[in-house]
Amino acid sequence: MPLRYRRQVVQVGPHRIRLRTLMDRQQFSDPLGAAAAAGISPASWPIFGVLWPAGRILANLMTTEPIDNRHILEVGCGIGLASLVLQARGADVTATDQHPEAEAFLRHNAARNQTGEIHFVRAEWGGSDPGESALDEFDLIIGSDLLYEAPQAKLLAEFIGRHAAAACDVVIVDPRRGNTSRFVSRMGDHGFLNTEDTVHALDEPEPFRGRVLRFTRG
């Protein structure tokens, strides 16, 4: 069956962002097996294409985050709401995700919002993905809801370590999936200090109770 989409307008601070997302978490289409080759199961295939509460929190944080002279990377961007907000502000932002459909959705939504094309790199976190060579070093690295499996704490910290500039800030929105302490410890192995751990709540349109983790190095 063809994919079904949802079109919506999301208010993020002063920005009205037009989004095309998947209709729901039941959508699936992998005719060429690209997602399966990347280790993405049918059950997890639609996760990239819906708007999650943690992504809304991250996007709201990016309405006030300093952007001048900063090279910014959104990791595991999914639908890329935070990147769209940053692009609307004129930031130098790159988005990355392993999902084979993430780039097409991001390009479509960037065109809908007339923010200009957002640089996208498809890459996994394991360090052996050829696509990762297209990424350089960044002054600010951001992400949301990335720690839903235990091995990802180590993989994400190593990925950040490889692509963080000597002086770099990291902002991760985490909905308390249970792997946070491992991630904080691994970030310390790469010279990052956990400078902030604050609780954020979001009641609409979907309840969220989670943490915003901030790290700095250099």
97 domain residue, yes or no: yes
Percent of the chain with pLDDT over 70: 97
H or E segment at 40?
none
Question: By mean pLDDT, which of 85-89, 97-101, 198-202 is the weakest?
Answer: 198-202
Please determine, for residue 140, whether its predicted confidence score (pLDDT) is greater than 70. Answer: yes
Look up the CATH number of the domain holding residue 62.
3.40.50.150
Domain that holds residue 162: 49-217
H or E segment at 47?
none
Task: Report the number of distinct structural domains present in the chain.
Answer: 1
- Compute φ and ψ for 21, nearest 5 degrees: -120, 175
174 domain residue, yes or no: yes
Write down the residue that tokens 């302490």 correspond to. Answer: 181
2 domain residue, yes or no: no
205 domain residue, yes or no: yes
The model's confidence at residue 132, banded by pLDDT at 50, 70 and 90, is confident
36 domain residue, yes or no: no
30 domain residue, yes or no: no
Question: By mean pLDDT, which of 14-18, 32-36, 51-55, 123-127 is the weakest?
Answer: 123-127
In this prediction, residues 67-94 reach a mean pLDDT of 98
84 domain residue, yes or no: yes
The model's confidence at residue 203, banded by pLDDT at 50, 70 and 90, is low
Torsion angle, alpha carbons of 99, 95, 171, 5, to 10: -60
Comparing CA positions, the residue from 11, 6, 3, 18 lying closest to residue 111 is: 18
Mark residue 57 as left, alpha or beta (left: phi above 0; alpha: psi -120 to 50; beta: remaining).
alpha
Within 13 Å of residue 134, how many CA atoms lie on the same side as its CB?
13
Quick one: pLDDT at residue 81? 98
129 domain residue, yes or no: yes
Asked whether 187 and 34 are in contact (CB, 8 A), the reply is no
Please determine, for residue 204, whether its predicted confidence score (pLDDT) is greater than 70. Answer: no
